[in-house]
Amino acid sequence: MENVTPDEKAPVPAKSRGLWHKIVQQRYLLLMSMPFVAWAFVFSYLPLWGWTMAFQNYRPARGFFEQEWVGFEHFKSLFEDPTFYLVMRNTLAMSFMGLIAGFTVPILFAIIVNEVRHMALKRFVQTVSYLPHFVSWVVVAGIVTKMLSSEGAVNDLLLSLNLIDQPIQFMAQGSWFWYIVTASDIWKEMGWNAIIYLAAMAGIGPELYEAARVDGASRVRQAWHITLPGIRTTIIILLIMSIGHLISIGFEKQFLLGNPLVSDYSQVLDLYALNYGLGMGRFSFGTAINMLNSAVSIVLLLLANGMFKRMSKESIF
């Protein structure tokens, strides 16, 4: 940016004087934004500086210049650690399952809710469907564990339908874990994620449906040929955003639903970083994991965005 000239008498370039003038004129706007910009710098940007730890043998007691620099040593040992590949497998498996199910189910739900003509019923179902979104993962994990326990509702139902002879130990078997996490996520967020689609559906012109009715299209066909294409843009935008967050799936669900019996399936990148980085005090190693995670996320986001740009250019018929 240009510097402000302190000497008022000297001939100042018009632009620079204009800037100083503007700063004074917009002092309230600056006062209302700059403190928070500094705030975000501390809490959102300073942690990025912490990435330097990944290239050091970080010791908490030492200053920045006294740290021992080790280059890509930690990344090397990360790629040599067999646990890393297990963790990466779990992360990718749960993110893809989450992406596919978390993406299609809310759309289907929105289409179904959109078909309800009875307004009070529609409102009631929507209100109910938002409920799990607002409760914490701690509560959801407790509820899921309760429902899936050997005397829980799910086993009771399966037993009474004679589908199984003995209760299934859902929470104790690693092979169930990914499905439980995905299903819990759907249970919690389906209604909430449908909000945007329902809003987009409300914007579709009723004349389209009328024309289809005149042509004798059934309601299934109306949903397929009018409702779905009508929310296409919304679907694409949300898809790109979810791809950007694909491997940043967090760790809350895995932390709260997991237990030592299923740890081979529940360990994800963030938990891995937490266990090694804080649990064992290997801060540098943990930082390397975090850094890798962020880097992959950004690459995925840029790829998805590039894909979208090409698609949106080609997709105008």
Residues 88-127 that bind another protein (CB under 8 A): 109, 112-113, 115-116, 121, 124-127
> CB 248 → another protein: shortest distance, Å?
8
Structure tokens at 160: 């009474």
Residue 175 contacts another protein per CB under 8 A: no
Which of residues 59, 76, 221, 309 is near another protein by CB under 8 A? Answer: 221
Token digits of residue 268: 């994800």
CA triplet 83, 56, 41: central angle to 5 degrees?
100
Among 33, 83, 312, 315, binds another protein (CB under 8 A): 33
39 binds another protein (CB under 8 A): yes
87 makes contact with another protein (CB under 8 A): no
Taking CB atoms within 8 Å and a gap of at least 24, the contacts of 249-256 are 249/91, 249/94, 249/95, 249/98, 252/137, 253/137, 253/141, 253/181, 253/184, 253/185, 254/90, 254/94, 254/181, 256/137, 256/138, 256/140, 256/141
Give me the 242-281 binding string for another protein, x by CB under 8 A, dash otherwise.
Answer: --x---x---x--xx--xx---------x--xx--xx---
Interacting residue with another protein among 13, 24, 26, 59 (CB under 8 A): 26
Cα separation, 118 vs 130, in Å, equals: 19
| 137 near another protein, judged by CB under 8 A | yes
Look-up of token digits 């090409």 = 310
Binding mask 45-74 for another protein (x = CB under 8 A): xxxxxxx-x----x-x--------------
DSSP string, 118-130: -HHHHHHHHHHHH
Q: Which CB atom, from 45 or from 79, has the smaller least distance to another protein?
A: 45
Residue 298 or 314: the one with the smaller Cβ distance to another protein is 298
